[in-house]
Structure 1
Amino acid sequence: MLSIVKICCGFNLIHLSPSSEAPDMSLASPASSPALTIVHVVFSSRIAGGERHCIDLAQAQAALGHRVHVIGSRGSAVAGELGPGIQFHGLALPLLRACRVRRLARRLGADVCHGHLGPACKAVAAVRGAARVATLHVGYKAHHHARQDGLICVNRTQAQQLPAFDGAVSVIHNWAPERAPAPLSLCLRRELGLRPDQPLVGSVGRLHPSKGMDLLIQAFRDHAPADAALAILGEGKDLEALQRLRGGDARIHLLGYRADVEQALQSMDLFVSPSREEAFPLAILEAMRVGLPILATATQGPSEMLAQQPATLVPVNDVVALGRALRERIEALRALPGQAVDRQRVEYCLQAYQRPQAVARVIAFYRDVLSRRAKAPRMQPRLRSGAAHV
């Protein structure tokens, strides 16, 4: 039985500075303005949320006619995910990485150098001649972000809590990236050998302490019904510790990296985001896109994303609260033990997270930063722009 609940909420644009105006989105298209040479920098061997966002943004910009390059670590999985119109430049060693990024950006004729995640943002800060932009996928750190020309915040709270910063600031929500079609696979439920009446709880994310997968495993072990199953998709340094925490509980499945995330989500009955820190989780957007009921900890990003949405938020780092909410949500899917699970689907409001509009706003922000750089007095400290477009 399929149930659909629909709710829609409005997101108004807010200017943190009354004198500032949002960049004109018409500037985002090369048809009305010259194409840009954009260099993205991301130093990661594996692909998680921040890397996935960088890949999808680069591909969307290339599709608009911009000249797009990505600098990363040699052998990174990022290289294999990029389309044919994007050139990947792999650096073999981290030694003198900032200097090499600066030289490479100059050789490529970069108009904009865009950093993703801490080490990359630190390298971008050393670039000269191009507009330096960073996305706060995690949070602001002075040694990574203070020397940028522009910062993209992924939620409003980030912008409101920024320390003194003399560059341009814009709030541009992430979006659920377009994934390449995955190879046909078995339904995850059949793969795990589940009966129709068994609830399947799922989560997607790096196996890292910040993602709180240990909290989810403990909460599930302590509170989930005996016939429920838990599937965690993702890889990372915490794998062995999580396997030990799982113990001999056959209900809990650590499935590693999966290319078929969207298909896997469609097999689940409840999505859980147990993070200790979260600026803007793409996994939650993907769960929203397939209409999964959602239970999340009230970290910065989910608290904003799920406001006025039909989702459940619980305190951060509270195993008992997470476990109780988990059991309540599972029990709500069925009225009586042994009854088939009601595969409930929710129609969320996703107007604020549309890919074309967000990509256009990023390009418009680049042009805004370039315009400010052109107007800034040479060899003089730049005045705080006061521009924070939300």
Structure 2
Amino acid sequence: MSAELLTLVHVVFSSRVAGGERHCIDLANAQAALGHRVHVVGKAGSAVADELAPGVQFHGMATPLLRGWRVARLARRLGAQVCHGHLGPACRAVAQVPDVARVGTLHVGYKAHQHQRLDGLVCVNRTQHDGLPQRQGLASVIYNWAPERLASGSAASCLRQELGLGREQLLVGCIGRLHPTKGMDLLVKAFLANAPRDAVLLLVGEGPQAPRLEQLAGGDPRVRLLGFRHDMDRVLRSLDLVVSASHEEAFPLVILEAMRAGRPVLSTATQGPREMLAGQPARLVPVGDELALGQALAEELERLRRIAPEARAVRYATGAYDRGAAVARTVGFYRDVIRHRLAEQALPHDDEVLAGWQV
């Protein structure tokens, strides 16, 4: 089976593209480039469809009714060997698909009602894997990677010009969905109370907390809400410090992208960053601690001010997050799950088998 090209169906029911969706897109594109027959099922009109490679076929669903049954019917028609769910609603639908290897990635974390019926789980950090309950099926730790983006020829200085900032002004950025779980309200308060008067905080993304963040900023020009940006690499190259103030993160792609761009990172010590940044030249602070976050911000900005802008880049060890290796491991995991399913089906029905999650 090792040389066999597979028919793969990824499922992600999101209208917009954030971290989990970005990973699904890049994984599907990479698998198609290897010659696999790759399909993505999602919401009709989703932004996901616009970023898929020509070799990946998108199937849009106009209504959420009977998603599991409809995904199962499509998988059967396509002759799929693997259905791979991304995020909760997709994993619930994939769990209802018979006669295929049903895989889910824990972009957020394990939830029994979403994941317990799946044949295989991709854990994005070691803590997730070690905390899995004893269930029948396979599990593997496969780290995410910084997804490939279209190259931008714009210089980083252009963003500063766009924002009307001087070369010496310190630019702090927080990138992600504007949602209470991301802790941006905490960051705004900590920044306004502790950052130098000429520093600027960029909040990059969209989401329901935008009005609250605008209110907290109180019209202070040091806090800018940029909305969604397509030129993320350009944004990252412009930042002097990337901050994640989240209350929960399994594997934040923005931190990995910041590492790839060589930007200094300050993060709350959530599950993913604790593992990603262990032994790296980055700084962690307790989750939900506004005082600690503010103090760390002040200290990091004071440290960076003493360094020339062109010398602020940081070198990280990112070998564990290689795209090609992770894609190959994911396909290998699919094959393991297929073999495991076949072995399970060959067992006598009256046997009681307690396999447990296996690496």
TM beyond 0.5: yes
1:217 aligns with 2:188: yes
1:351 aligns with 2:319: yes
* SS at structure 1 position matched to 2:144: coil
Q: Which of 234, 238, 241 is matched with 1:263 structurally?
A: 234
State the one-letter code of the partner of 2:272: G
Task: Calculate the TM-score normalised by the size of structure 1.
Answer: 0.88
Query: In structure 1, what is the Cα distance between the partners aligned to 2:143 and 2:169?
Result: 35
Q: Is the 8 A contact 2:17 2:47 kept in 1?
A: yes
Q: Which of 80, 83, 86 is matched with 2:50 structurally?
A: 80
Structure 1: gaps spanning 5 or more residues: 1-26
Higher helix proportion (structure 1 or 2):
2
1:106 aligns with 2:76: yes
Q: Is the 8 A contact 2:132 2:357 kept in 1?
A: no
Matches within 5 A, 1:46-125: 46-125=16-95
Query: In structure 2, what is the Cα distance between the partners aligned to 1:321 and 1:160?
Result: 29
Aligned CA-pair RMSD: 1.7
Residue in 2 that maps onto 1:242: 213
1:297 aligns with 2:268: yes
Q: Which of 341, 350, 355 is matched with 1:373 structurally?
A: 341
Query: In structure 1, what is the Cα distance between the partners aligned to 2:57 and 2:348?
Result: 33
Range moving further from structure 2, 111-120 or 256-265: 256-265
1:168 aligns with 2:133: no
State the one-letter code of the partner of 2:329: R
Q: Deviation of residue 322 (structure 1)? A: 0.5
Query: In structure 1, what is the Cα distance between the partners aligned to 2:75 and 2:349?
Result: 21
Query: In structure 1, what is the Cα distance between the partners aligned to 2:9 and 2:353?
Result: 26
State the one-letter code of the partner of 1:279: A
Residue in 1 that maps onto 2:277: 306
Task: Calculate the TM-score normalised by the size of structure 2.
Answer: 0.96
Residue in 1 that maps onto 2:96: 126
Query: In structure 2, what is the Cα distance between the partners aligned to 1:340 and 1:167?
Result: 53
Residue in 2 that maps onto 1:21: none
State the one-letter code of the partner of 1:375: A
Range moving further from structure 2, 243-252 or 309-318: 243-252
Q: Which of 9, 27, 41 is matched with 1:39 structurally?
A: 9
State the one-letter code of the partner of 2:315: E
Percent identical residues: 62
Query: In structure 2, what is the Cα distance between the partners aligned to 1:192 and 1:382?
Result: 64
Tell me: CA distance 1:164–1:329, structure 2 relative to 1, closer, same or farther (3 Å): same
Q: Deviation of residue 383 (structure 1)? A: 3.3
Q: Is the 8 A contact 2:247 2:268 kept in 1?
A: yes
Q: Deviation of residue 158 (structure 1)? A: 0.3
Matches within 5 A, 1:147-226: 147-182=117-152, 184=154, 187-226=158-197
1:364 aligns with 2:329: no
Q: Deviations over 1:147-203 (max 9, x none)?
A: 000000000000111112211000000000001234747721111111111100011
Query: In structure 1, what is the Cα distance between the partners aligned to 2:310 and 2:172?
Result: 13
Structure 2: gaps spanning 5 or more residues: none
State the one-letter code of the partner of 2:172: V
Query: In structure 1, what is the Cα distance between the partners aligned to 2:153 and 2:167?
Result: 24
Tell me: CA distance 1:68–1:122, structure 2 relative to 1, closer, same or farther (3 Å): same
What count of residue pairs does the alignment treat as equivalent? 356
Q: Deviations over 1:107-135 (max 9, x none)?
A: 11110000000000000000001100000
Q: Deviation of residue 385 (structure 1)? A: 3.6
Q: Is the 8 A contact 1:167 1:384 kept in 2?
A: no
Q: Is the 8 A contact 2:134 2:357 kept in 1?
A: no
Q: Is the 8 A contact 2:108 2:250 kept in 1?
A: yes
Range moving further from structure 2, 377-386 or 272-281: 377-386
Q: Is the 8 A contact 2:135 2:357 kept in 1?
A: no
Residue in 2 that maps onto 1:15: none
Tell me: CA distance 1:182–1:340, structure 2 relative to 1, closer, same or farther (3 Å): closer
Q: Which of 201, 211, 218 is matched with 1:230 structurally?
A: 201
Runs of 4 or more off by more than 3 Å in structure 1? 182-186, 339-343, 378-389
Residue in 2 that maps onto 1:12: none
State the one-letter code of the partner of 1:276: H
* SS at structure 2 position matched to 1:313: strand
Q: Deviation of residue 334 (structure 1)? A: 2.1
State the one-letter code of the partner of 2:312: Q
